[in-house]
Amino acid sequence: FVGEEEDGRDVLEVLKDYKSHHAERIKEFQLQKRITGVEVAVCAFFNGKEFLSPICVNFEHKKLFPGDIGPATGEMGTTMFWSEPNRLFNSTLKKMESRLAGAGYRGSMDINCIVNSNGIYPLEFTARFGYPAIDIQQEGLLTSMSELLLGLGQGALTKLLEESGEEHQTKSWRIVGDPTEGALVVVAAKAGVSRKDLENALPRVAEIPFDSDRKRMTTVHQRRATLRFDCPETVAFVKGAPDVILDLCTGVAENGKSIPLTPDKKAEILAANQDMARQALRVLGVAYRGLDGVPAQVTPDAVEKDLTFVGLLGMIDPARPEVKEAVAIARKAGLKTVMVTGDYKDTAEAIAREIGILVPGGKVVTGAELDKMSDEELAKQVDQICVCCRVSPAHKTKIVDAFKARGHVVAMTGDGVNDAPALKRASIGISMGITGTDVSKETADMVLTDDNYASIVSAIEEGRIIYSNIRKFVYYLISCNIGEILIIFLAMLFGWPLPLRPVQLLMLNLVTDGAPALALGMEKGDKDIMSLPPRPTKEPIINWEMQVGTAVQAVVMTAAVLWAYWLALKAYPDDLAHAQTIAFTTLCVSELLRAFTARSEHYSMFATGLFSNPWMLWANGSSLLLVLVAVYVPFLNPFFGTVPLSVADWIFMLPFMCLASIAAEITKVYLRWKAGQIAMATHP
**What is the pLDDT at residue 37?**
64
pLDDT at residue 78 above 90? no
The pLDDT of 552-576, averaged and rounded, is 94
pLDDT at residue 476 above 60? yes
**What is the pLDDT at residue 72?**
34
Instruction: Name the nearest CA neighbour of 435 among 207, 102, 120, 50.
Output: 120
The pLDDT of 293-312, averaged and rounded, is 88
The pLDDT of 253-262, averaged and rounded, is 82
**Alpha-carbon torsion 398, 403, 409, 415, what sign?**
negative
**What is the pLDDT at residue 512?**
80
Tell me how far apart the alpha carbons of residues 64 and 471 are, in angstroms, rounded to a whole number. Answer: 20
Q: How confident is the model at residue 138 (pLDDT cuts 50, 70, 90)?
A: very low
pLDDT in tens, 588-645: 999 999 999 999 888 888 888 888 899 999 999 999 999 999 999 999 999 999 999 9
Tell me how far apart the alpha carbons of residues 79 and 386 are, in angstroms, rounded to a whole number. Answer: 11
Tell me how far apart the alpha carbons of residues 411 and 79 are, in angstroms, rounded to a whole number. Answer: 6
The pLDDT of 359-377, averaged and rounded, is 91
Burial state string for 5-19 with b = 16 or more CB within 10 A and e = fewer than 16: eeeeeeeeeeeeeee
Q: How far is CA 78 from the centre of its chain?
A: 11
The string of DSSP codes covering 154-174 is: TTSS-EEEEEE-TTT--EEEE
Residues 6+ apart with CB under 8 A from 681: none
**Which amino acid, 509?**
N
**What is the pLDDT at residue 364?**
94
**What is the pLDDT at residue 189?**
66
Question: According to the per-residue pLDDT averaged within each range, which of 19-28, 192-201, 570-579 is highest?
Answer: 570-579
Residue 237: exposure state from Cβ atoms within 10 A (0-12, 13-18, ≥19)? buried
pLDDT in tens, 84-94: 433 333 332 23
**What is the pLDDT at residue 75?**
38
Q: 589 φ, ψ to 5°? A: -65, -35
Question: According to the per-residue pLDDT averaged within each range, which of 234-238, 406-410, 424-428, 563-567 is highest?
Answer: 563-567
Instruction: Give me Rg for the CA atoms of the chain.
Output: 37
CB 444 within 8 A of CB 416: no
Residues 6+ apart with CB under 8 A from 365: 381, 385, 387, 388, 389
**What is the pLDDT at residue 155?**
39
The pLDDT of 176-198, averaged and rounded, is 66
> Domains plus CATH for the chain?
74-122+317-451 (3.40.50.1000), 167-315 (3.40.1110.10), 462-682 (1.20.1110.10)
Tell me how far apart the alpha carbons of residues 75 and 292 are, in angstroms, rounded to a whole number. Answer: 59
What residues are paired with 163 via a beta bridge? 172
170 CB neighbour count, 10 Å cutoff: 9
Q: Looking at 9-64, which runs of residues are DSSP E strands?
A: none
Judge if pTM exceeds 0.75: no
Mean pLDDT, the chain, integer: 77
Of residues 81 and 289, the one with the higher pLDDT is 289
Of residues 314 and 486, the one with the higher pLDDT is 486
Strands 96-98 and 446-448: antiparallel
Give the whole-number percent of the chain exceeding pLDDT 90.
26
Sequence length of the chain is: 684
**What is the pLDDT at residue 176?**
54
Question: According to the per-residue pLDDT averaged within each range, which of 18-27, 86-95, 120-129, 604-613 is highest?
Answer: 604-613
pLDDT at residue 59 above 70? no
